Amino acid sequence: MLGFRAPQRLPFIAATAVLAAVASIAVVGAFFEPFNVTYDHRALIIGGKRRMLISAGVHYPRATPEMWPGIILKCKEGGADVIQTYVFWNGHEPVRGQYYFEGRYDLVKFVELVGSSGLYFHLRIGPYACAEWNFGGFPAWLRDIQGIEFRTNNGPFKVEMQRFVSKIVEMMKEEMLFSWQGGPIILLQIENEYGNIEGSYGEGGKEYVKWAAEMALSLGAGVPWVMCRQTDAPETVIDTCNGFYCDAFKPNAYKKPKIWTEDWNGWYASWGGRLPHRPVEDNAFAVARFFQRGGSYNNYYMFFGGTNFDRTAGGPFQITSYDYDAPIDEYGLLSEPKWGHLKDLHAAIKLCEPALAHVYSNVPVKMNERLPKNLNFCSAFLANIDEHKSVAVKFFGKDYTLPPWSVIVLPDCKNLAFNTAQVGSQISIKTSSPLLSCYSNTTAPGNLLLAAKDFSVSSTWMAFSEPIGIWNSNSFTTQQILEHLNVTKDASDYLWYITRINVSGEDITYWKEKDSHPALTIHNIRDVARIFLNGQLIGGTYGNWVKLEQTLQLVQGSNELALLSEAIGLKNYGAFIEKDGAGFRGPIKLTGFKDGEIDLSSFPWTYQVGLKGEFVKIFAPEETGKVDWTILQPDKMKTPFTWYKTYFDIPEEKVTIALDLGSMGKGQAWVNGHGLGRYWSLVAPKYGCPVTCNYRGAYNENKCLTNCGKPTQTLYHIPREWLQASSNLLVIFEETGGDPLQIKLKKHATVTICSQVSETHYPPLSSWHNPERFTGNISFDKSQPEMHLHCDDGYAISSITFASFGTPHGSCQYFSKGKCHAQNSSFVISEACLGRNSCYITVSIKTFSPDPCRGIVKTGNKERYFMVHNMMAAYLRFYLFYRTVAYFVLFFFYIFYY
């Protein structure tokens, strides 16, 4: 085993220069020779050639334009042929008829960057997206159109939907972005998972599906359209699969290819919930099975998840991070071993493409037959779908051992190229640690000074108290309870409901005699309600249409009751989402009065939309002076409904930065006017997270949960592009009373890399691309496995803390030497890797000679630590399996010479 650690960061200048070159990609002219896209039952046909396609899901608004080139490059390096995204209607048309295609919503630039990288593009116009995105991507103004009903055979809705879809298609045509124009777009999507809810709309739903398909085709885009999860998709549109597994999926017509539009390689998280994790062994198993059973296009949802900046997170209660346990994390760093293991899988699938892409039929074979010599292309997938037992297989005269829940890939029907259960990619362990000490070069009050040990806040915060209730003349009064979204139009999360309650002396006497207090009851609230009595916060609750009951300490005379309704993301999934709304439903009552119950629903209520600081935009550098800030005093600490601001400098080093808001309660945060998103320190349940996660067996979103007993999210991504060297403005709106003095800026980086590779591991996939392989001059039996290691971009391997070629014990961060150990292990690894951004070591006795223990299978094991940017090392477990009888599946392809 080989292993190492490194408590030191070394900048790698060459890698930094490469990054700069990538960021300056020029986007000019056509990206490809114009080509047509058609399909048959086997595959998409790209320019006349059937292709096995790997697609990476990336949502452009969930990253900054400056991040896009690096993310696209990492997708391509990970084996992607295609980038897939939704189109976000509410981002592009925030006001009816007023379009926005700039900044994070510059869709054309994003498509062009993909094309310039040599990748294809799958544009899912929808325009309903779901995507855990606010209102499923619909603009809030859409629900105000008279007579409208979403996603059914409804005239007003179809007019608006067709107008927007036509806008996007025409824009892509004008920019020459379709394949037949030399652009990267090869697929489009209309609607999204409509089959899940179609039954709710009866005949109207069926008619709507037909109309949507016909409308899409009438636009003349010139590339195929898909409908995902739509078993009744018309003959002219490809129906596709979404899910954790799609190997058993069959399109609704023979001539359609088998496409997996959403391979859920992770899952989203909600406030107060645990964090889902999908083991890469299972994800690789699912993908290999999909291609094994006739699949031709697989898209990872998500390959890069990103961040729900501003108020874009969906509802109810979607968190700000959309990391999604993706191969590329929300900061743009590789997540290993997921990225690396899937990269190897993609390379193995590509080796099989000549056989997979041909029209084939399953041909029964005997396991112990020799491989026929007259095969032109032959590729085999052997699968063991038993969750517990391994199986020994003799196939064409060769022996193979299949671990439980695994698929092995034989690109030439003889030699093993990939095993889904045998992870040979490096393990990345990331942490968020305090930034290096530095000091503000400005002296204005409110500057964020840096403590000696970490990047923490001194007492230089300034504060502004948000007015409770009415703060603007645009408030209005009516004698009824209005629905939240009808009033706010989603211009703000917040809506004030204010009324007055007159209390007589008789009521006061009655309560004293009864030793009781009156109570407020709201029968249904969504998502958060806060109760203020005479200017003081006295209670509240949160939930998805839950009941609220609150005791009131009323005084004689007039009492001001202010209710604050807060929307935490508009509903993004399900039927009739336009009718869901937010705020309060049902009667609002007072109980416990001498004369009985009082129904407040018909009282005069004054409505105020939003917060003063929000609408004045005091979070923007040019607007922050519009209110009277005061230096934060100790006695004003932890007060609810307070705005805080400070300034901070950042180190010159190009690290990825996170804002640690673990000391705060609930609110929103901005840096230099950019919305980082909502924050909320709700804690996940203490139970439900297994100590170890067994990847074997069918995965679901409640399996392999992590983060029990901790806040769902405490770290919030600050894109480096939003920062300047000094005087960065940080503004926080805190609702419940957090401690801003404990807020910290942290670097998010790979700090530990580990690797574990056995002598019996299969050779690197790169060895298959040697032309001599086809002449028989290269024997795979003599090829040696390799351990490949790499740092984050811009950094080098700085030190090695553990290395052992032999029989070491333990796992990443807990390795120890076994009885067999090559004494020169550390020296060999140091010579190969120290000071380099990446390296590889052949795992063989020859590399670590002399043999420390003859006749024993050795494993290479390594471990490293880094303080800032790092590399992680590959790990692979070698399984010893008995020759037991287990259920397995054999599937292979071959083409005879004619």
Q: Lowest mean pLDDT of 306-310, 782-786, 847-851, name the range.
A: 782-786
- Across the range 817-836, mean pLDDT stands at 91
Would you give the DSSP letter of residue 711? B
Is 175 part of the annotated catalytic residue set?
no
CA distance 317 to 543: 9
Q: Which pLDDT score, from 0 to 100, does residue 14 have?
A: 20
Query: What count of other Cβ atoms lies within 10 Å of the Cβ of residue 467?
Result: 15
Q: Which pLDDT score, from 0 to 100, does residue 651 have?
A: 79
CA distance 898 to 894: 13
Would you give the DSSP letter of residue 359? -
Residue from 682, 731, 687, 678 nearest 708 by CA:
687
**pLDDT tops 70 at residue 654:** yes
SS3 76: helix
- Across the range 237-251, mean pLDDT stands at 98
Q: How far is CA 188 from CA 34, 238, 503, 774, in A?
A: 17, 10, 63, 38
For residue 542, what are the contacts with CB-CB under 8 A and spacing of at least 6?
Answer: 525, 527, 528, 529, 568
Q: How far is CA 870 from CA 7, 54, 698, 789, 802, in A?
A: 10, 28, 33, 11, 16
Q: Lowest mean pLDDT of 138-142, 211-215, 420-424, 433-437, name the range.
A: 433-437
For residue 180, what are the contacts with CB-CB under 8 A and spacing of at least 6?
Answer: 34, 35, 36, 37, 222, 223
Establish whether the linkage from the previous residue to 176 is cis, with ω within 30° of 0. Answer: no
Q: Lowest mean pLDDT of 248-252, 357-361, 440-444, name the range.
A: 440-444
**In percent, how much of the chain has pLDDT > 70?**
86
**pLDDT tops 50 at residue 690:** yes
Catalytically annotated residue among 93, 191, 262, 330: 262
- Across the range 256-275, mean pLDDT stands at 98
SS3 34: coil
| Whole-structure pTM value | 0.91
Residue from 200, 172, 170, 171 nearest 186 by CA:
172
Query: What count of other Cβ atoms lies within 10 Å of the Cβ of residue 394?
Result: 12
Q: Which pLDDT score, from 0 to 100, does residue 633 have?
A: 84
The pLDDT tens digits of the residues spanning 585-627 come to 989 999 999 999 999 999 999 999 999 999 999 999 999 999 9
- Across the range 427-450, mean pLDDT stands at 57
Name the phi and psi angles at 33, rounded to 5.
-65, 135
**pLDDT tops 90 at residue 858:** no
CA distance 298 to 466: 49
What is the distance, to the nearest Å, from the Cα of residue 726 to the centroid of all Cα atoms in its chain?
Answer: 31
The pLDDT tens digits of the residues spanning 716-726 come to 999 999 999 99
Spell out where 696-855 has E strands. Answer: 715-718, 728-734, 744-758, 786-791, 795-796, 802-806, 838-842
**pLDDT tops 80 at residue 188:** yes
Catalytically annotated residue among 193, 336, 353, 566: 193
Length of the chain equals 898
Q: Which pLDDT score, from 0 to 100, does residue 358 have?
A: 85
**pLDDT tops 50 at residue 106:** yes
Is 262 part of the annotated catalytic residue set?
yes
Establish whether the linkage from the previous residue to 127 is cis, with ω within 30° of 0. Answer: yes
